[in-house]
Chains A and B, each alone.
Chain A
Amino acid sequence: MKPIVVHPRIDFMLYAMDAVVNQAAKWSHMTGGQAHPSMTIRGIINRGGEQGAQHSQALQAWFAHIPGLRVVMPATVADARDLLIASVLCKDPVVYIDDRWLYDQTDDLPPVIEFDLRLERPRCLRLGSDLTIVGSSYSTRLALNAAEELEKLGISAEVIDLRVLNPFHSEEVVTSVTKTGRLLAVDGGWGPCGIASEVLAVTVQHINPANFKSSPSRVTLPFAPAPTARNLEKTYYPDTNSVVRASLNLMSS
């Protein structure tokens, strides 16, 4: 069977960590590839709306840390559909994470094509030459919005959408930052040991320091649980302006 488990809030999926991390992620490895739990676990990120700290988390980094799992985070309407299908058809356990803040995005899609998830990688959604902004899920949306604002200021931003966080593919990011010399990583989770950390790490690992025109930087949540009050939520969550400001800092440093 090919089950799809739906966790309406990724926060409460933590109750299922043993099944996901100790069982699903390990079976193929421990049985020498004889058992493939072909299951998809959909976890929904449900931020804002004065729901408070226990209903608002973006925990993608936890699952991206575990070998044996695949983690996908669609940012576009096309990926929302086609990466879910690819996840379910994949032989491995997949954590598919969608963010409710993206639900209003619209697009015209061609008929379904079945993709092999193992071949899906990060994608460049916008070409640019001055800096590279890397995001996933809603952060990619912020990166695209910021790139438009930056263009009005004469700054050309390239936007890379990670799409698949586990296994983590670094090639597209490294190629882009080698070209632009500047990196801003944007993530909807916390900074320490998060996805943005990994994006920064692979670039400093693989790119000659002389190629960097400024130190790589990141936009993440403040390192604190989410607030409940609406006015505090507004300052807590990064928005397009946060990404524009961080980009301008990179350009002037």
Chain B
Amino acid sequence: MIEKRTTYNYGTAILAAFEYLLEKYPEVFVIGQGLWSPWYVGNSMTDLDKKFGKQRVIDTPVAESACTGAALWQA
């Protein structure tokens, strides 16, 4: 039997990892700057907020320390 393979580029491979994790693990969430308009990360996060909701894909203000600290507390 031939194994089913899918073509990715490096960016869509990262996107596929996010989708896999968010679909399979309800405890996974994503937080960071510009996640609702992630134009600056290639295609690596496209539409995650639309697929998985803005509660699990959280767009933050420009506050790196605060969002990392908040995420750490959740871990």
Binding site for B on A (CB under 8 A): 1-8, 12-16, 18-20, 23-24, 37-39, 41-42, 44, 46, 74, 77-78, 80-82, 84-85, 88-89, 93, 98, 100, 102-112
Choose one: A6, A88, A108; the contact of B28 (CB below 8 Å): A88
Distance, CA A37 to CA B73, complexed state (A): 8
Which of chain A's residues have a CB closer than 8 A to the CB of B74? Answer: 1, 3, 39
B interface: dominant SS: mixed
Given contacts A20-B68, A107-B8, contact A80 B17 (CB under 8 A): yes
Encoded as 1 (CB less than 8 Å from any A CB) or 0, chain B from 1 to 24 comes to 001111111110110111011000
Distance, CA A99 to CA B16, complexed state (A): 17
Given contacts A7-B32, A106-B8, A109-B5, contact A16 B69 (CB under 8 A): yes
Question: Would you call A111 and B8 a contact (CB within 8 A)?
Answer: no
Q: Which of B37-72 contact A (CB under 8 A)?
A: 38, 40-45, 63-65, 67-69, 71-72
| A86 closest partner in B (C-beta) | B17
Chain A nearest Cβ from B19, distance in angstroms = 10
Distance, CA A89 to CA B43, complexed state (A): 23
Chain A nearest Cβ from B33, distance in angstroms = 6
Identify 14 residue pairs between A and B in the complex whose beta-carbon atoms are under 8 Å apart, listed by A's number.
Answer: A1-B27, A4-B28, A4-B30, A15-B63, A23-B72, A39-B72, A80-B11, A81-B17, A88-B28, A93-B75, A98-B14, A103-B43, A107-B8, A109-B13
The 9 A-B residue pairs with the shortest CB-CB distance, nearest first, are: A6-B32, A16-B68, A3-B71, A15-B64, A84-B17, A81-B13, A39-B75, A108-B5, A103-B11
Choose one: A13, A37, A108; the contact of B75 (CB below 8 Å): A37
Which of chain B's residues have a CB closer than 8 A to the CB of A89? Answer: 21, 25
Chain A nearest Cβ from B37, distance in angstroms = 11
Which of chain B's residues have a CB closer than 8 A to the CB of A13? Answer: 64, 68
Chain B nearest Cβ from A194, distance in angstroms = 23
Choose one: A2, A12, A93, A104; the contact of B10 (CB below 8 Å): A104
Question: Would you call B29 and A1 a contact (CB within 8 A)?
Answer: yes
Question: Would you call A8 and B34 a contact (CB within 8 A)?
Answer: yes
Chain A nearest Cβ from B47, distance in angstroms = 15
Chain A nearest Cβ from B36, distance in angstroms = 12
Question: Would you call B72 and A77 a contact (CB within 8 A)?
Answer: no
Question: Would you call B9 and A106 a contact (CB within 8 A)?
Answer: yes
Distance, CA A84 to CA B19, complexed state (A): 11
Distance, CA A84 to CA B40, complexed state (A): 19
Question: Would you call A18 and B75 a contact (CB within 8 A)?
Answer: no
Distance, CA A41 to CA B32, complexed state (A): 10
